[in-house]
Amino acid sequence: MTLELLIVDDSPIARAVLEKALRLSHLPLGPLHQAADGAAALELLARTHVDLVFLDLAMPGTDGLEVLRRMRAEPATAATPVIVVSANVEPARVPALNALGVAARLQKPFRPEVLRRLVQAVLGVRHG
Amino acid sequence: MVELPSEQIAHTALEVLEEAGFLLGETSDAARARAPLAPMRASLAFAGPQRGRLEVVTSAALAHELAGGVLGRPLDELDEELARAALGEFVNVLLGHLREWLGTLRKPLECGLPVVAPAASAADWEALVCRPGAVVLEVEGEPLAFTVELENLSEEQR
């Protein structure tokens, strides 16, 4: 089994760093999709099944919280695991994120081993 | 005006640069007089228990170094968009690390989106390093300065 993942972040460097860390993670990766904004992410999710979404919260236009709300309102993505990736997740926001079923939070900057452990914990997968 | 502890936030910035981009630096009064070549400016507004703006000015060369360090790619493979994005990520991550000094108990800290643009001139550097509380670093031989400007809020606004 390989993992089909989606990275949603408006920063090209944040997407590149996450992609690089995933490629180095020894996780069993399949297609790795990227979206530069919330609208593109929702469009991709409407036609593609992914096993896990890495979601930035602060994006122009449709932000991460709105993406999360719309995902949860769609039966096809209501249960898709989401890891929020952010430099600025306020403790006061955590209950709202938990209520929307966020599986985990990844604080930037992060190390590849932290990312690997997080994905393993969320999806119950082992090294590829 | 609320004062932030300059020494500690300088230390935090150096940790972020080292952890995210493998870049080494130190605080430097000598760098204060050296306006960066081809300066770039990044800023990030925030609101919450404190309202204000984090502003960084450094050289395009250091922004490229940062992108290269973050991505582990040689500099000749990097374009200006990636350098700008790297500087934007730096202010984003730095603000996240400075949160403990900005107070978050009553209201969450709401951050805007990083804005990165080439600075207009060396005058931007001079204006920034002259502000009270400006932190000036020398990172991989390049000058980098930043300030955290805070508005005074009334008790009700807090």
Residue B2: per-residue pLDDT: 56
Q: What is the tens place of the pLDDT at every residue in A8-65?
A: 999 999 999 899 889 888 889 999 999 999 999 999 999 999 999 999 988 999 999 9
Chain CA centroid to CA B122, Å = 17
Task: State chain B's mean pLDDT as an integer.
Answer: 86
Q: What is the tens place of the pLDDT at every residue in B36-94?
A: 989 999 999 988 777 899 999 999 999 999 999 988 889 999 999 999 999 999 999 99
Higher model confidence: residue A5 or residue B7?
A5
Q: Do residues B31 and B138 make contact, with C-beta atoms less than 8 angstroms apart?
A: yes
Q: Please tell me which residue of chain A has the smallest CA distance to B17.
A: A109
Residue B111: per-residue pLDDT: 82
The 3-state secondary structure of A18-87, one letter per residue: HHHHHHCCCCCEEEEEEECCHHHHHHHHHHCCCCEEEEECCCCCCCHHHHHHHHHHCCCCCCCCEEEEEC
Q: What is the tens place of the pLDDT at every residue in B128-149?
A: 999 988 999 999 999 999 999 8
- Domains belonging to chain A, first-starting first, are 3-123 (3.40.50.2300)
User: How many beta carbons lie within 10 A of that of residue A75, not counting itself?
Assistant: 7
3 state DSSP class of B1? coil
Q: Please tell me which residue of chain B has the smallest CA distance to A96.
A: B108
Domain B6-150 falls under CATH 3.40.1550.10: yes
Whole-angstrom distance, CA of residue A61 vs CA of residue A38: 7
Contacts of A73 (CB under 8 A, 6+ apart): none
Residues of A in contact with B72 (CB under 8 A): 20
Predicted TM-score (pTM) of the model is 0.81
Where in chain B are the domains?
Answer: 6-150
A33 touches chain B (CB under 8 A): no
How close is the nearest chain B Cα to the Cα of A93, in Å? Answer: 7
Q: Do residues B67 and B89 make contact, with C-beta atoms less than 8 angstroms apart?
A: no
Strands B39-47 and A29-35, how do they pair? unpaired
| pLDDT value at B101 more than 90 | no
Q: Please tell me which residue of chain A has the smallest CA distance to B96.
A: A88
B7 CB-contact burial (10 Å; exposed 0-12 / middle 13-18 / buried 19+): exposed
